[in-house]
Amino acid sequence: MRALLASVALLGMTGTARAEDQPPAPIPGSVKALEGCWRGDGEVMGKPVEITLSVKPAALGTALTVDADSRAKADPTDRYAAHLILTGRGPAPKEGPATGVSGFWADSFGGDFTAVGKGEAVPGGFDITYPYPDAAFVNRWRLDGGKLSWSIVARAGGKDAPFAAYALTRAACPAE
C-alpha cells in the first residue's frame, strides 16, 4: 500500500501538462523579434556606455531571456549586467496578434532590485513597466529592421525622468 501511495504522490509531482491546462500565453511577435545578439551605445543617467544584448528562447519557447552587459566608456571596469525574462501575458486573442507582455528583471545590484513587470505590444515594439518602491521604470523597446532602440524612463509622482537610452544594431552572436 505504501508503494502505491508513493507512486501516486510522485505522479502528481511530475509537472506534466494535462489536457485541461490552459496553453501558455503567446509571446507577442514584437518581443520574439528581439531574438539574437545586439551591440550598441547608450547613456545611463548621463553616463556614456557600450552595451551588448543576447536574446534567446527559454522554457520550451514560452519565454525569452535577455542578457544585457554594459560598460561605461570612460571606465571599462564600471560594469552593469541585467538578466530579463520576457513572456506573453493573458489569453491568446480570438482575433489578431498577441499583445500582453510580462517580464522579470534581475541585475548586478542583487536580489533587492528585482521586479516583475507588465506591458503591451505597440506598433514597432513593446512597452513594459517595472514597479519599484521609489519609481516605476518604463521600458520602451522599438525595432526597425536591424536597428533597436531601448529607452527607460523613471516615473515618480506623475513625472517622467530620462534614465537610460540605447541604440543597438544586430550583431553576430559569439560562439558558445
* Residue 149: predicted pLDDT: 98
Buried b (16+ CB within 10 A) or exposed e, 11-32: eeeeeeeeeeeeeebbbbebbb
Residue 10 has pLDDT above 60, yes or no: no
At residue 166, φ and ψ (nearest 5 deg) are -130, 145
Q: What is the pTM of this model?
A: 0.85
Mean confidence (pLDDT) of the chain: 90
Question: What residues form DSSP beta bridges with 145?
Answer: none
R_g of the chain, CA atoms, integer Å = 19
Class of domain 24-167 as given by CATH: mainly beta
With a cut of 90, say whether residue 94 has pLDDT above it. Answer: no
Q: Given this model, what pLDDT does residue 19 score?
A: 60
Q: What is the grid cell recorded at 20?
A: 485541461
